[in-house]
Structure 1
Amino acid sequence: MGITMWINSLGISQILPMNKLNHFQTQTRPMAAYNPRIEHVTNGSLASDKLISSNNNGSPLVIVPPPVTVPSTLGHYLARRLVEIGVSDIFSVPGDSNLVLFDYFVAEKGLNLVGCCNELNAGYAADGYARNRGVGACAVTFTVGSLSLISAIAGAYSEDLPVICIVGGPNSNDYGSKKILHHTIGLPDFSQELRCFQNVTCYQAVIDNLEDAQWQIDKAICKCLEESKPVYISICCNLVAIPHPSFSAKPLIPLSLSPKQSNQMGLEMAVEKAADLLNTAIKPVMIGGKKLRPAKAEAAFLELANTCGYAVAVTPSAKGMFPENHPHFIGTYWGTVSTAFCGETVEIADASIFVGATLDELETDFLRALGKRLKPNLRAYENYRRIYIAESGPPESEAGEELRVNVLFKHIQKMLSSNMTVIAETGDSWYEIQLLYASIGWSLGATLGYAQSAPQKRLVLCIGDGSFQMAPQDVSTMLKLGQNNIIFLINNGGYTIEVEIHDGPYNIINNWDYTAFVEAVNNHQGNCWTTKVHTEEELVRAIEIAMEDRNDCLCFTEVIVHRDDTSKELLEFGSRIAAMGSHPPKLLKN
């Protein structure tokens, strides 16, 4: 797709894809003097107040007066902007200060208001949605709703995900009135919510008047897209339905997205120095990080890998951002819990390219330019192949033997295809997704959002029983939406990841009947299939049913495993976290 610089009639510059140009061209044309539109009338009578004339052949004409433009409202404008940037679903929880705004969301063609069971899950869903769609949105009510949401927004911030957090705020007349309002913490200063969000969003807009509302909405959306971080928009509830001329542009005035460009001289110097270093290395490697995604640099990273031939690894949070069937892919690098032989290959390398720690659009230029200067070098990959021993997989289970976690993942691996996406929770099923913030329970809401953004894919969720108990309610939302996700709940009787860090009675949770829970929230209304498995034979049959007989519905499998059944990687991870937390305090100097 081609890219061009576009200057609209307001002097705002932006980068537009070629397929958007026709949509925006009218914005650059000068407004001509009004010429009445003339319509031929062939049937029916004419109203007496219309001016009638005849053309040369005698057929009647009607001169139609110019249409009267009714200014659009704030709610309509925000809804149109969300659709324009690619948001087709808003994850929401209603409250008294956002109900009128929700009416506009419901009325907007191309926009679907998804009601969630709680604000935390709405935020998790927007997080999952943004991972696939490139931007997500959630909407809640003032303070009591938004403070329930804030942990999910913090997680999105840590993952560089563009999420638009919309809050229905108090009446504009209440600001400065010293009133104590419900849904607040009892202070007349309503900025407490704003202050909470300042540390977990890159931009905050409080819309308490109409004069600059359009500018504030556009500014927030632009910041969200440019910085790939969440933004906060609070809208006073009494302004939503009021028209204003600034909301009426059709088509919408193009967003003023600031294109970033590399300094050519600095780029050339950096490429030259890096190429000199890497071309003299004997066994260099490449490691991709999670910021490949917000920088949209996956393609440039792959191009560089193809050019230089280096061995390529990814960090856990970048899993899925580089094709694992690539001939030079060696696995996941994560220190002592790396994929077998991947850690050794990375750590004996004499030159390493870590891409993604602080990556932005400028480094994408660097990767492409660097690829043109590097000499092919297969030495590190050849070293990896020499020491690599293919995993034999877990030993075969005996008939009726208790199911093991490694056997579960062996069969999940076999069932995966290119039209499936895996969402994995903190714990033994952990890879990618939310590594830094690591909020237990995040994955269920994220699965809801991701599935809504990618209806052509089938989602596979691996979640522990402890994580499931954190936020289980929105299985009902999945059912309401008709999603056909496959959920594997690993029931080992507690917070296993916490057990491996520091064991204690507080890590044991009350055991639920999880399949009965899912059936209860379904209440015979949705399309759902549940089962409970204890052995490998039962698991194989459950997967066959989910993939073939019940591929059109949500399939929930509770997998019963032993409390102490964990991978060696999780054991190592737990011991390292425990060691970090047990460091004695440094002595203060006098």
Structure 2
Amino acid sequence: MTSKQNTVGATQRMKIGDFLLRRLEEAGIRHLFGVPGDYNLTVLQQLSDTGTLEWVGTTGELTASYAADGYARLNGLGALMVTNGVGALSAINGIGGSYAEHVPVICISGSIPLRSVERGLGMHHTMADGNFDHFMDAYSHVTAAQARITPRNAATEIDRLILTAWRDKLPVYMEFPSDIAFLEIEVPTAPLVLADVPSDPERLGSCIAAITQRLTAAKSPAILVDADADRFGVAPMLMELAEKMQAPMAVVNAAKGVINESFAQYVGIYGGKASEPGVRETIENSDSLLAIGYRPIEVTTGDFTAVLPANTIHARGHSIDVGEDNYQAVTLKEVLRGVIDAVPQATKLAPRPAAAAAMMGTPADGSAKLTQATYWQAIQDYLRPGDVLYVDNGTSFSLLGLKLPPGCTFIGSINWGSIGYSVGALLGALTAAPDRRHLLLIGDGSFQVTAQELSTILRHDHKPVISLINNGGYTIERGYIGKTEPYNDVANWSYAALPKVLRPDTTARSFLVRTGEDLQNALSAPNDTLIFIESIMDSCDAPAPILRSSNLGAELDYGPTGPQHREGLQLRPAKVEVKA
């Protein structure tokens, strides 16, 4: 490679594939997930030749997209590489989830040779109709930016896509033709710098003044946090602001764990009528509510029962609404820094009562058959500071009712709700932060969708704790309809045996749990290797909040003529008798 100085800065000649890998590394990406295919092998060979990144081959493109998502949540950016058409479409569900959950992931699709595009040559992994833009069109709906890389645009488009993902906290899609990786072009010698475009000074100052005026005049200010507080890295600043104002803070369930739940100003999860005790009144009666990235959908609003004050300040990553005024060309970090500096220090109030964990009842005798109540109490006691916790669709949503120790990270697909997401995300986040303890809480139905990725976790000698509920199928769906219908059943696997099946020489510890005592023994095992716990439970045993949510979900989904009203078709919470 040679370098020279031109009118816009120093440049050097570099192979396009090497430049892509260099830019990914400069953006802080150390691992690339995916599946090899003939159209991406040129870049994979360059990766192997240079050692720029570490390749983490997965069992499929769907789980590679989940892994890149989990990786990005802890690393700030993630990336995966797939092949044209078949790989890209397999990964699109996970990328759609990253778009819904605001996670910056770079999806690189090794695509058909550029000469084939220009000559209109029919190639495999296409629709064989002469149109080579189908997959770019598909990804335009689930990514913030897309591009087909060519020798003419590579130096600018690679940077544009990476910066867009990082700045917008959204996925991007890059088609990389297989015949350009080893072509040399002029590229900048300067490293890629991940930085926001600075705010417009006047807009920034006016926005800070408007927010400060409202918060200062308020008698009951409060802060409501959605997941963007984590994505844009402002959670510590929000806690600083809350402490200075002595203002209560709540989160929606998609932001579980974003605010330290031991923080004095934290009051719990807000979700309309599904809010934790006292939280609904705190948020809805605030005379100056600052909402960060708030996006209401039924699962975060208690089935649309959330009602924010009319004068709520809505703050997003790059724009703020204050009353009738909309402030563009500002960044959330700069606005919050200015507001923190400007608001007066409030008189320190007496400490608020700690937010209580929503337990499932009194644990049963340890020798009795394991129940959901016993299980979740044991999990609460098992948590420790700094854990990374995963939730999948199902009864593992009960994790939302537990109190997290300081420093915990919660990873879930709350808005997108893609079943099986957590197994792939576990691989990705383990890769990003192998020194933290990772605890996957999952049901048998969710696990079966992506169970094969356990083999990759074992292959890389990761040491998570995987706690699986075996209750014969989709219990959360039984709460919608189909309490005993076969469509909610799954095959009964020997889950605890899978680590040995997938890696015969594994040192993983497996446990088959049937009682509370069995569970305590499993949770007491040293975590110096992977721990796999299979807990046997009744298919009709589910925490009451989960069943109430499912029952209400059926009303929203199916309407007044839906089948949920048939006798015995819907799994419902047990009725509690009230004695006179």
Q: If the length of structure 2 is used for normalisation, what is the TM-score?
A: 0.82
Distance 2:366 2:379 in 1: 20
| Identity across matched positions, percent | 30
Distance 1:346 1:138 in 2: 40
**How far did 1:311 drift?**
1.4
Report 1:191-590 matches (<5 A): 191-207=133-149, 209-242=150-183, 244-247=184-187, 252-255=189-192, 259-357=196-294, 359-360=316-317, 362-375=331-344, 385=353, 394-430=361-397, 431=400, 433-503=412-482, 505=485, 506-522=487-503, 524-545=504-525, 548=526, 551-583=527-559
Aligned position for 2:305: none
Native 8 Å contact 2:148 2:176 kept in 1: yes
Distance 2:359 2:131 in 1: 63
**RMSD, aligned α-carbons:** 2.7
Whichever residue aligns with residue 246 of structure 1, its letter is E
**How far did 1:554 drift?**
1.2
Whichever residue aligns with residue 442 of structure 2, its letter is I
Distance 1:213 1:273 in 2: 42
**How far did 1:351 drift?**
3.5
Deviates most, 356-365 or 183-192 = 356-365
Task: Look up the SS of the partner of 1:337 in the other structure.
Answer: coil
Q: If the length of structure 1 is used for normalisation, what is the TM-score?
A: 0.81
**How far did 1:497 drift?**
1.8
Judged with a 3 Å threshold, the aligned counterparts in structure 2 of structure 1 residues 402 and 379 are, in CA distance, closer, same or farther, namely farther
Native 8 Å contact 1:310 1:378 kept in 2: no
Q: Deviations over 1:207-261 (max 9, x none)?
A: 2x3232222212221222222211111111112123x1415x6xx3233766333
The question of 1:183 aligning with 2:107 is answered no
Distance 1:380 1:498 in 2: 45
Distance 1:569 1:366 in 2: 38
Native 8 Å contact 1:311 1:381 kept in 2: no
Judged with a 3 Å threshold, the aligned counterparts in structure 2 of structure 1 residues 112 and 441 are, in CA distance, closer, same or farther, namely same
Native 8 Å contact 2:394 2:443 kept in 1: yes
Distance 1:290 1:526 in 2: 37
Distance 2:547 2:281 in 1: 19
Native 8 Å contact 1:303 1:368 kept in 2: no
Distance 1:11 1:574 in 2: 62
Distance 1:558 1:378 in 2: 51
Report 1:69-88 matches (<5 A): 71-88=13-30
Task: Look up the SS of the partner of 1:429 in the other structure.
Answer: helix
Whichever residue aligns with residue 537 of structure 1, its letter is E
Q: Which is greater in Rg?
A: 1
Distance 2:427 2:219 in 1: 46
Deviates most, 342-351 or 100-109 = 342-351
Distance 2:6 2:255 in 1: 40
Whichever residue aligns with residue 159 of structure 2, its letter is D
Q: Deviations over 1:346-389 (max 9, x none)?
A: 3343432212225215233332333344456689988x749x88
**How far did 1:493 drift?**
1.4
**How far did 1:72 drift?**
3.1
Judged with a 3 Å threshold, the aligned counterparts in structure 2 of structure 1 residues 494 and 391 are, in CA distance, closer, same or farther, namely closer
Distance 1:318 1:339 in 2: 14
Distance 1:101 1:498 in 2: 43
- Which 5+ residue runs of structure 2 have no aligned equivalent? 295-314, 319-330, 401-409, 562-580
Task: Look up the SS of the partner of 2:98 in the other structure.
Answer: helix
Whichever residue aligns with residue 370 of structure 1, its letter is V
Distance 1:316 1:322 in 2: 11
- Which 5+ residue runs of structure 1 have no aligned equivalent? 1-7, 13-26, 32-68, 586-590
Native 8 Å contact 2:22 2:52 kept in 1: no
**How far did 1:316 drift?**
1.0
Judged with a 3 Å threshold, the aligned counterparts in structure 2 of structure 1 residues 538 and 356 are, in CA distance, closer, same or farther, namely same
Distance 1:322 1:389 in 2: 15
Distance 2:98 2:83 in 1: 19
Deviates most, 493-502 or 136-145 = 493-502
Aligned residues between the structures = 512
